[in-house]
Structure 1
Amino acid sequence: MIDQRTSGFLSEFLDTPNRDPAVLDRFLLQGPDGGRRGAKPRLKVAFFDFWPEFDPSANFFVEILSARFEVSVVGNDSDLAIVSVFGTRHREARTVRSMFFTGENVRPPLDGVDMSVSFDRIDDPRHFRLPLYVMHAYDHLREGAAPYFCHSVLPPVPPAREEAAERKFCAFLYKNPNCARRNDFFHMLSARRHVESVGWLLNNTGSVVKMGWLPKIRVFSRYRFAFAFENASHPGYLTEKILDAFQAGAVPLYWGDPGVLRDVAAGSFIDVSRYSSDEEAIDAILAVDDDYGAYRRYRSTPPFLGTEDFHFDAYRLAEWIESRL
């Protein structure tokens, strides 16, 4: 369920003429008080075993915790160690409290750490659900791929008929070859209407998109549809892939989390697993592509509003962490 504070703020904000997205960003990241507190307690934070591109000094966790603490990032001897799954350095951590985080399809530990944050739907006071797309929405902002953290929360502006016609049909951008479900659907759809693979995997364009969110979203913005298949299917496992397509103004073709409709609004994307066969799913995709009115309805539907769950109010995670320190 959406937090009542968030629900009230969103309702008022969306009814406001000439609304300023920076105001919504401040609320979602810093909370109702906008980070306006008295003297903030100091908090030394260390990060262990994150992915190579992760910047310990400027990231989602530092952003949301800075509304409540005077945060300093240290190498070790911390008040809070945030550990992930890309290594074993966390075994050397000297810390008062530890928090596990993963966006990968890995079950979070509930024993051995003080708290866990992951995509999993676990009913336990030691666990907080944060789908990876929320953290990546902040990374998109930092890299300039989206103008605001709340960009995907705002009602989308659908393309005019002429703009939609100028876009190509569908993009496929992957490097990981280890998902037969995704690869097979690419071949089946491309046999009916040409899909451009613009990444390393199954490339058919002769050039490969550079790494990074900005190049990816810029390329996706040239297409009406974009593949958003996960690496695997598991309840709650919902990564940045669907967000990337939304940010680019493409309709996502999704496969993965069987409970995706708890997070993402029906009618904003095409979930191929909802069809009785891949042939039926492809027929539906092509029918939407051939009907501007149907395509426009998909592109007009806010993907993260009116859903059962809402996770962009990142201040709730900061509150939860604060309560467990």
Structure 2
Amino acid sequence: MGKKTIKINLVDSYDTIEDKFLFHFLGEHYNFLVSEEPDFLFYSCVGEEFKKYKNCVKIFYTGENAVPNFNECDYAIGFDHIVFEDRYLRFPYGFEAVSSELNNMCDITKTLAVRKFCNFVYSNSSYGEGAKLRQEFCKKLMKYKAVDCPGKVLNNMENAINPRRDGNWSSGKIDFLKNYKFTIAFENTSSIGYTTEKLCQPLQARSVPIYWGNPEAARDFNPRAFINCHEYESLDKVIEKVIELDRDDEKYLEMLMQPPLNPGFEEKFSKETVANFLVNIVEKGNKPYFKNTNVWLKKPTLGKRIVQNIFSVKNKENNKVVKILGIELKFKRRIG
């Protein structure tokens, strides 16, 4: 019996259907018909085209630090530690390329301690607190030793790595990182749950990440396998740790030998986990959930302000607003 055909579309995304890993997983179960009248609409956070589509199930997926709005989407895949029945899956961007093989440390040898010092690969120089902080850190670290910067930011190497949107960028970047003992791995922003390929890729390359971003990255990754900037009181203290490891091969190799993935990582973030989440959505059929879009909420009234105050939850630590408008969400993390 052949695979069922489903009508889908993808909007407001940097990726295409051919590129996005979600469709690779879902394609093992269904054939796709790309349609302007889809039953299932996938969208991300780089536009608002999704709003014009009616009478379809909307599935939000983000590679950016954005919280899903369940008054706009029916289902979501993101970074936050949210529990919302079968409508949400935490599956951070970059985790799809990580497998349990990463914990097989048989490729770690003493020669890895005599590689080039450190690299810094970035194209974004201004968006987010981390963009500025990582440049500050890199410049401080350069006072100790040269740091190779093949990206657009602080560039001091020409044509050393493929452009960001090149189809071979990810594998090419990992191959580049393999030449270095350390990789500066700062996210654009810092938020609980928001870990991306910036931590995964150095680990895949066996290059010790100097990581800043998700303060709770150790929930998914072995804290002894990377330098976590959030554990230090200043960037200067982080640099002292980098220098200590750089000057002591035994201590460096001890960190490099640590299995990077915490127990249970592969079960939580496997291809099957994503596929099962998506198949469950499809098998329910084109049945969107109710979304609270009452016109009166858009009017500048006291009632609107009251509703906004009741149904917007601000995470003070991360300066994020989660708009839930009538939908009760249960958070595993503390919200103040």
Same fold (TM over 0.5): yes
- Alignment correspondent of 1:98: 58
1:150-196 Cα distance to aligned partner (Å, 9 max, x none): 2754423354223431x100000101112221111111111122211
Equivalent pair of 1:56/1:73 in contact (CA under 8 Å): no
* Counterpart check, 1:228 vs 2:185: yes
CA distance in 1, matches of 2:241, 2:267: 28
Which residue of 177, 183, 191 maps to 2:125?
Answer: 177
Correspondence 1:265-284 to 2 at 5 A: 265-284=222-241
Which residue of 20, 24, 38 maps to 1:78?
Answer: 38
* Counterpart check, 1:253 vs 2:253: no
* Counterpart check, 1:46 vs 2:6: no
Moved more, 253-262 or 152-161: 152-161
Equivalent pair of 2:40/2:58 in contact (CA under 8 Å): yes
Which residue of 144, 157, 168 maps to 2:106?
Answer: 157
Q: How far apart are 1:91 and its partner, in Å?
A: 2.6
Q: TM-score, normalised by structure 2?
A: 0.74
Which residue of 198, 201, 209 maps to 1:244?
Answer: 201
Correspondence 1:16-55 to 2 at 5 A: 40-51=3-14, 54-55=15-16
Larger radius of gyration: 2
- Alignment correspondent of 1:168: 116
Q: How far apart are 1:304 and its partner, in Å?
A: 1.6
Moved more, 289-298 or 98-107: 289-298
**Secondary structure of residue in 1 paired with 2:143:** helix
**Secondary structure of residue in 2 paired with 1:157:** helix
Equivalent pair of 1:233/1:256 in contact (CA under 8 Å): yes
Q: How far apart are 1:99 and its partner, in Å?
A: 0.3
CA distance in 2, matches of 1:298, 1:73: 48
Q: 1:290 to 1:101 in 2, by over 3 A?
A: same
Equivalent pair of 2:219/2:262 in contact (CA under 8 Å): no
Equivalent pair of 1:220/1:250 in contact (CA under 8 Å): yes
Q: 1:296 to 1:158 in 2, by over 3 A?
A: farther
* Counterpart check, 1:59 vs 2:20: yes
CA distance in 2, matches of 1:297, 1:109: 43
Correspondence 1:73-152 to 2 at 5 A: 73-94=33-54, 96-125=56-85, 126-135=87-96, 137=97, 150=99
Moved more, 39-48 or 247-256: 39-48
CA distance in 2, matches of 1:76, 1:221: 43
CA distance in 1, matches of 2:122, 2:237: 24
- Alignment correspondent of 2:252: 295
1:68-113 Cα distance to aligned partner (Å, 9 max, x none): x322140422221111112232233355311011110112111222
CA distance in 2, matches of 1:207, 1:290: 30
- Alignment correspondent of 1:205: 157
- Which residue identity does 1:191 align to in structure 2? K
- Alignment correspondent of 2:143: 191
CA distance in 1, matches of 2:133, 2:6: 44
**Secondary structure of residue in 1 paired with 2:276:** helix
Equivalent pair of 2:112/2:181 in contact (CA under 8 Å): no
- Which residue identity does 1:86 align to in structure 2? V
CA distance in 2, matches of 1:56, 1:159: 37
State the superposition RMSD in angstroms: 2.2
Q: How far apart are 1:42 and its partner, in Å?
A: 2.9
Equivalent pair of 2:195/2:217 in contact (CA under 8 Å): yes
Aligned residues: 272
Identity %: 28
